[in-house]
A and B are shown apart, each in its own frame.
Chain A
């Protein structure tokens, strides 16, 4: 779909040739076709003009004094603003090697001089159309992706939907196709399950894996199965359809509100944080294999007993890791405990956000999910 303003926009072409009659010929011919033409007589100007306002297509002479056409294309490919501009080479050089060199550098076409202007017009038109189609495809895919992400968000459980589960969550997704997710389920009256997972990668496959894992957890979270069995069932189903190279780390906490009994199971996920109402925060470190990589995986488990008012925090690694600063789990965990002491007395609803602000701040290097619940 094209909006009217877009359709009315004249395509902008950059033509680059050191020879004046060629430049005039190209400029006049293409202006007569209704294009906006920016004419440059050397490579340095061509780069500067294409950076100022990227054209929809560029026609580049190869043999020019100073920077030649190959070098201009090379420079354009280096920069994201100009790397997708379709480039047609123009040259009197008829040898195959210069044509092949142009194509290998990423040119879309080649016109040998002296050219027939009708051929030039046709090639310009077809490459503008191709670029437009490509843009339309990308926009369409991006729209589909947004729909998928929106659908995922719709599925997220909000604290007010299940107030008896007494939880709060902070969920920040850096990208449209993040791999972090959480869920809160109620397998039976007074039994609540809390789930946080992080799927590897940042692409559409990651989003699908995340969505699939949540669906499997919902299906398998039942009083019939222990949390570990729930993970095993989900794992064996995941390995049958998960794309190669994809997996999840995950943690699942199942709280029996009648007894205060908390069962934890982890698939290579960062430790859980326990904030006792009275006493120092501490970490529950659990080992275990990742989810979805192979069948028969083993998961780390731990049972603990909570007192009324005790809180537990599950989170994704974005909270404690900063690959840019080289901060990995171990250093991150020490900071997490410090931050936990600072937020000990805040209301539950504010706890996940404040923890994230304390630890991540503006850094925002990854998806982050922080889920806190209270017994």
Chain B
């Protein structure tokens, strides 16, 4: 993934939300609450060898992450969504591992007080 992509594109997200801080905080809270389960869904689908389930789980995580601006997670999820049906499980295992790392980084940044 392009290393210039930030963990959080807060500015882009705020623009889409019409600079509504309260709204952003609301969806940030939801993202923090929901992302562990969303990631679990991705991992479960990978373990089960369920290609369509993997695609769908990645799609959901991509959508949620695009809203809050966790763009590296969104980008990694997009890659999985786009390639899941190819059925190359060793590559998907790498993608999913990378996704886990990106989620960890995003959670750390989101937990920080706003700059």
Query: CB within 8 Å of B: which residues of A?
Result: 18-22, 24-25, 28-29, 63, 65, 92, 113-118
Contact = CB atoms under 8 A, between A and B. Distances in A.
B68 interface: yes
A116 B17 CA distance: 6
A92 B62 CA distance: 9
B18 interface: yes
A29 B31 CA distance: 17
A22 B59 contact: no
Nearest to B60: A19
A213 to B, nearest CB: 62
10 contacts: A19-B63, A19-B64, A21-B31, A21-B34, A92-B59, A92-B63, A92-B66, A114-B16, A114-B66, A116-B15
Contacts of A24: 26-27, 30
A114 B66 CA distance: 6
B9 to A, nearest CB: 10
A349 B66 CA distance: 77
Given A21-B27, A21-B68, A116 B16 contact: yes
Interface in B25-84: 26-27, 30-31, 34, 56, 59-60, 62-64, 66-68
A113 B60 CA distance: 11
Contact of B67 (A18, A22, A65, A118): A22
A92 B63 CA distance: 7
B23 interface: yes
A63 B56 CA distance: 8
Contacts, number: 54
Nearest to A29: B23
Interface residues of B, number: 20
Given A24-B27, A28-B26, A92-B66, A117 B59 contact: no
Contacts of A63: 56, 59
Contacts of B64: 19-22
Contacts of A29: 20, 23
B29 to A, nearest CB: 9
A116 B60 CA distance: 18
Contacts of A118: 18
A8 to B, nearest CB: 26
Interface of B: 15-18, 20, 23, 26-27, 30-31, 34, 56, 59-60, 62-64, 66-68
Contacts of B23: 25, 28-29, 117
Give the 5 A-B residue pairs with the shortest CB-CB distance, closest first.
Answer: A114-B66, A21-B30, A21-B27, A116-B16, A21-B64
Which one of A20, A113, A114 has the highest number of Cβ atoms from chain B below 10 Å of its Cβ? Answer: A114
Contacts of B67: 21-22, 25, 113-114
B12 to A, nearest CB: 9
Contacts of A21: 27, 30-31, 34, 63-64, 67-68
A117 B12 CA distance: 12
A301 B84 CA distance: 80
Contacts of B26: 24-25, 28
Which one of B17, B30, B60 has the highest number of Cβ atoms from chain A below 10 Å of its Cβ? Answer: B60
Contacts of B60: 18-19
A114 B63 contact: yes
Nearest to B12: A114
A63 B17 CA distance: 22
B54 to A, nearest CB: 13
A95 to B, nearest CB: 11
Given A18-B60, A19-B60, A117 B66 contact: no
Contacts of B15: 116
B50 to A, nearest CB: 13
Contact of B27 (A25, A65, A113, A115): A25
Contacts of B31: 21
A34 to B, nearest CB: 15
A82 to B, nearest CB: 26
Which one of B16, B62, B64, B66 has the highest number of Cβ atoms from chain A below 10 Å of its Cβ? Answer: B16
A166 B11 CA distance: 87
Contacts of B62: 92
A160 B20 CA distance: 74
A41 to B, nearest CB: 12
B113 to A, nearest CB: 21
